[in-house]
Amino acid sequence: MPACPDSIRRKAQALFPVSLGLFRAGFRSSLDNMRILTLLAVMATPAHAWEFSPTPICTLTHSEGAVDVAVTYDHATALYAISVTGPDGWPAAQAFSIRFDGPRPNTISTTRHVVDGQTLTVTDQGFGNVLDGLEFNSTATAFTQTAVVQVSLDGAQAPVQAFRACVTAPIA
């Protein structure tokens, strides 16, 4: 059985100083080599999770590839906002839409959007359809006449529910 070369063992130990016991006695087989490479690849892959934070304002965020989405609610202004940052920005457009695909499909459109650099933002006093779309579907596609980005809604349900609870019962 081939052993793990010392140079690889030293590099791995330098990158991961906490001993996982993976490099102590060397690898026993090529299968072990594949397991550690898979583990390292998974650890290096960024998580694409939907996240909720109640402070300083109710915030729901998601990053996927070069796309960032943020939904906020500010109790002080009673305004919701959704901001979508895309890799190629958002060229000037008359309308912005977001389409939700899944068990409860819906498309929402507005002409009240603002573009600042790479980010397009919409604000409003009600976001029920947006929150329903995020919570109950599988993908969201944000688009204008000349630009489009799509994100997965996998794992969004619980953070959206926490966001809804924050909106109705603010954290002091």
- Asked if residue 108 and residue 87 are part of one domain, the reply reads yes
Residue 16 inside a domain? The answer is: yes
| The pLDDT value given to residue 141 | 98
Residue 1 lies in a domain: no
Residues 30 and 54 in one domain: no
The answer to whether residue 109 sits within a structural domain is yes
Q: Which domain holds residue 70?
A: 50-168
Given pLDDT bands bounded at 50, 70 and 90, which one contains residue 100? very high
Q: Does residue 40 share a domain with residue 108?
A: no
pLDDT confidence bin for 170, thresholds 50/70/90: low
pTM value > 0.75:
no
In this structure, are 110 and 133 located in the same domain? yes
99: its two tokens: 């389409």
Both 160 and 80 in one domain: the answer is yes
**Would 130 be classed as within a structural domain?**
yes
Considering its fold, how many domains does the chain have in total? 2
What is the per-residue pLDDT for 46?
A: 45
Q: Are residues 138 and 64 in the same domain?
A: yes
